[in-house]
Amino acid sequence: MANLVIDVGNSRTKIAVFIDHELIYSQTLNILKIEDIEEVFTKFKIKNSIVSSVSSEASMLEEVLINRSNYIRFSASHQNLVNLTYTTPQTLGLDRLAAIIAASKIYPNQNCLVIDAGTCITYDVVSSSKVFSGGSISPGLNMRFHAMHTLTGRLPLVNTDNDFSLWQGTDTISSILSGVQNGACFEVDGFIKTYQSRYNDLKILLCGGDAKFFDTRLKSSIFAHTFKMEPNLVLIGLNEVIYQYND
């Protein structure tokens, strides 16, 4: 029997199916439809399901899952896989919590820095003793581009350019690309160096929709053995919660 894991984010929804701890199916959708869930139930023998949602509205989705599986709605109450000392656990992003649960499972007894580069960029450390005390949240790439366009009078809307490699711009568009993309990379690099100065033997895990963008730009400045892209980190964490809940 299989576990169905659904991560409803700000921009996209990820659906995954696990058998035990092995990911056997995944799909990323811009808009989640009930038909998509029905299709998964047709393809796989789903026993357990879990949803993590940034929105409080998931009633139609939950109705399907409750009727067809052992359903869990992920929340801050599922925190006993890590020692959470965050002072407002009820406001902690569920994707952040799932990612640190996964990090502590994949790399036990090791300090891990999780960088989730999505709508926002989040930086979270779970210690070798499985303690999570807090982290940082900053605007993601697209949010930066949109903010510059929306909050100014004349700056155009620019999109991420994976081929852009100039250290400075020579016109307005390339200057925006330089400021946003280089600035974000400098930020990520700065956070990494700060955490490395505070935690020994730090494993750096990168996930999120913009993970590939940062992956190619950061590898040159970070020792390969300390850095790994884990695109399914949140999904893995949610699957671990299913096992914890059903034990």
Task: List the catalytic residue out of 20, 36, 95, 247.
Answer: 95
CA nearest to 82, candidates 135, 125, 137: 125
Catalytic annotation present for 95: yes
* Secondary structure (3-state) at 133: coil
Distances (CA, A) of 34 to 16, 55, 95, 127, 205: 15, 16, 22, 38, 32
Q: Residue 220 corresponds to which tokens in the numbers above?
A: 């040159």
The residues, ordered by sequence, that sit 6+ positions from 232 with a Cβ below 8 Å of its Cβ are 16, 23, 26, 207
Alpha-carbon distance of 201 to 204, in angstroms, equals: 10
Distance (Å, whole) CA 173 – CA 158: 7
Residues 6+ apart with CB under 8 A from 56: none
Q: Which residues are catalytic?
A: 95
